[in-house]
């Protein structure tokens, strides 16, 4: 098989033209192309007057060696990328493995364990996605928060109420496994090869439900509204856990908590788990008209039918040495209330599959280092909580989000009125000065970053663009230390800290990859016989 790159289609050429372009590039007849498969698709908009779509394809062709001898540029020999299922170990388990948390990391860990016959027990503190959607919608309409089931907690994790973005810079065969599983359970097949794939919150909810059903079909068990309360270990080895007051014996547990499980982090610290503080980021959501972003990225082609809502990703290093960057950009999306604690305000972004809402939004985040709060992991969490509480106070002790026009933020003054950008935040906003809520070093870097981004994307610093705060949950402020060779907790055998909450991922795909990695490590050493456990052997 050959991999052929840099195949171009204009915006007015249909995908069916790709085969002809392939034949032309290789100087072969159409009938010599036995089959081909797209492996990458991306939009090249570097020149606004000449936007095109580039493809890489894997092709089986007649007389392959003859073509290779011609040494065509962008043509190399390739192999089919297939995720290798792990080989089972031989150490017998007395009890089935437990997965705590059913976000992307826990979900893919549980799926792989189920596919390999381990019948995992999954514990998720939040509700199943059907009930969770009802709880989240109730909060967005009335301000009545369910602290155990919300945007942060519940089936699918925080990513269920997001853009469903599947981009990652990780080069790993597990990426293919993750994307193919998403397709198998309901996503469009194009996500496997798109440069910036996304699913959308509306489609993702159905996929999450289908994965749950598959795990159960394969012998796994999922207990929703079940919270991990304690962990028992002796001589550095896991013995069991307590969940909803019930003691459950186990020897192997994948701990995929998510980045907002602050009460569980506290319990782990009390139990002596090796946890250290780690850097994270803080900022606010910025909203622009999606039409402005389309125009800035695509110029005269902004309304072309082949181009979807435009995206951006911007990075700047501020004069105070901190990185400023946009994160989780949601084209045609909304800013959503995302707290998991009463008396706190947290925002995030969300898009449906169509990405057809009026505004684009993205987090503008600033790096926060451990030197800013100290090496005690509790202090990073306390900093997040302090900012979230200040936002709640700025909103007069309501869940209205504090908001500020960009022009006013740059001038450090409270907005007196909204401009042309209408806020999409479901519970409404209250005008405030984010300089009174966020740390000075964050605001200084944000001001500089927004101005720098305006040079890269025309209109980013438009006067009426709206900042809505606060975004504090982009990543975990702690890391649960684990061994590199087997992903087990540094001092406690049998526990696999996993995903975003443990500090090893940042986003849906990287979290899912880490879930697969931890499940693989377990599978490679241990085996499980359900009949033996049922018979008490």
Q: What is the arrangement of strands in the sheet containing 75-77, beginning at the earlier edge strand?
A: 33-44, 52-61, 2-10, 75-77
Task: Please identify, in words, the CATH class of the domain defined by 91-275+479-534.
Answer: alpha beta
How far from the centroid of its chain's Cα atoms is residue 321's Cα?
26
Taking alpha carbons only, the member of 339, 407, 395, 373 closest to residue 152 is: 339
Task: Please identify, in words, the CATH class of the domain defined by 2-77.
Answer: alpha beta
Q: Are strands 228-234 and 237-243 parallel, antiparallel or unpaired?
A: antiparallel
Rounded to whole angstroms, how far apart are CA atoms 129 and 110?
Answer: 17
Structure tokens at 496: 């696999």
**Confidence (pTM):** 0.95
Residue 411: predicted pLDDT:
97
How do the domains of the chain map onto residue ranges? 2-77, 91-275+479-534, 279-471
**pLDDT tens track of the chain, all 537 residues?**
999 999 999 999 999 999 999 999 999 999 999 999 999 999 999 999 999 999 999 999 998 998 998 888 899 999 888 999 999 999 999 999 999 999 999 999 999 999 999 999 999 999 999 999 999 999 999 999 999 999 999 999 999 999 999 987 777 899 999 999 999 999 999 999 999 999 999 999 999 999 999 999 999 999 999 999 999 999 999 999 999 999 999 999 999 999 999 999 999 999 999 999 999 999 999 999 999 999 999 999 999 999 999 999 999 999 999 999 999 999 999 999 999 999 999 999 999 999 999 999 999 999 999 999 988 999 999 999 999 999 999 999 999 999 999 999 999 999 999 999 999 999 999 999 999 999 999 999 999 999 999 999 999 999 999 999 999 999 999 999 999 999 999 999 999 999 999 999 999 999 999 999 999 999 999 999 877 766 565
Taking alpha carbons only, the member of 95, 82, 85, 5 closest to residue 41 is: 5
C-alpha distances (whole Å) from 455 to each of 164, 406, 447, 462, 475 are 28, 15, 13, 12, 28
Rounded to whole angstroms, how far apart are CA atoms 380 and 364?
Answer: 19
Partners of 55 in beta bridges: 7, 41
Rounded to whole angstroms, how far apart are CA atoms 107 and 513?
Answer: 11
């Amino acid at each position: 098989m050959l991999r052929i790159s840099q195949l171009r289609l204009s915006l007015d050429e249909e995908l069916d033209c790709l085969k002809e372009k392939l034949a032309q590039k290789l100087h072969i007849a159409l009938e010599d192309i036995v089959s081909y498969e797209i492996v990458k698709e991306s939009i090249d908009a570097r020149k606004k007057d000449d936007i095109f779509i580039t493809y890489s394809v894997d092709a089986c062709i007649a007389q392959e060696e003859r073509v290779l001898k011609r040494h065509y540029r962008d043509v190399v020999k390739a192999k089919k990328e297939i995720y290798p299922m792990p080989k089972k170990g031989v150490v017998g388990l007395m009890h089935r493995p437990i997965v705590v948390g059913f976000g992307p990391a826990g979900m893919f860990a549980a799926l792989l364990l189920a596919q390999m016959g381990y019948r995992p027990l999954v514990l998720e503190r939040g509700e199943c996605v059907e009930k969770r959607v009802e709880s989240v919608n109730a909060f967005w309409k009335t301000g009545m928060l369910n602290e155990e089931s919300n945007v942060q907690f519940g089936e699918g994790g925080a990513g269920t109420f997001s853009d469903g973005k599947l981009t990652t810079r990780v080069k790993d065969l597990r990426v293919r496994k993750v994307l193919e599983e998403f397709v198998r359970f309901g996503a469009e097949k194009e996500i496997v090869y798109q440069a910036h794939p996304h699913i959308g919150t509306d489609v993702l909810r159905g996929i999450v439900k289908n994965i749950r059903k598959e795990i159960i079909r394969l012998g796994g068990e999922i207990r929703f509204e079940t919270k991990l309360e304690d962990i028992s270990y002796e001589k550095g080895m896991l013995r069991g856990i307590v969940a909803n007051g019930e003691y459950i014996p186990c020897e192997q547990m994948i701990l995929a908590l998510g980045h907002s499980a602050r009460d569980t982090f506290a319990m782990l610290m009390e139990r002596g788990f090796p946890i250290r503080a780690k850097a994270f980021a803080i900022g606010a959501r910025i909203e622009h008209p999606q039409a402005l972003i389309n125009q800035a990225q695509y110029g005269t082609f902004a309304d072309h039918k082949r181009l979807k809502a435009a995206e951006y990703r911007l990075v700047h290093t501020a004069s105070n040495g901190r990185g400023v960057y946009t994160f989780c950009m949601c084209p045609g999306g909304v800013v959503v209330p995302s707290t998991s604690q009463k008396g706190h305000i947290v925002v995030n972004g969300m898009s449906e599959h169509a990405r057809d809402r009026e505004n684009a939004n993205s987090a503008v985040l600033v790096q926060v280092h451990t030197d800013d709060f100290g090496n005690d992991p509790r202090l990073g969490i306390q900093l997040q909580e302090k900012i979230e509480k200040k936002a709640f106070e700025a909103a007069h002790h309501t869940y209205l989000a504090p908001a500020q026009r960009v022009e006013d933020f740059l001038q450090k003054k409270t907005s007196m009125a909204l401009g042309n950008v209408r806020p999409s935040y479901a519970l409404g906003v209250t005008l405030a000065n984010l300089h009174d809520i966020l740390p000075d070093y964050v605001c200084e870097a944000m001001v500089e970053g927004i101005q720098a981004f305006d040079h890269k994307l025309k209109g980013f610093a438009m006067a009426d663009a709206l900042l809505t705060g606060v975004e504090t949950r982009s990543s975990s402020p702690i890391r649960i230390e684990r061994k590199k060779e087997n992903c087990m907790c540094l001092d406690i055998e049998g526990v696999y800290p996993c995903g975003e909450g443990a500090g090893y991922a940042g986003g849906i795909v990287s979290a899912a990859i880490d879930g697969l990695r931890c499940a693989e490590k377990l599978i490679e050493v241990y085996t499980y016989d359900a009949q033996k456990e049922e018979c008490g052997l």
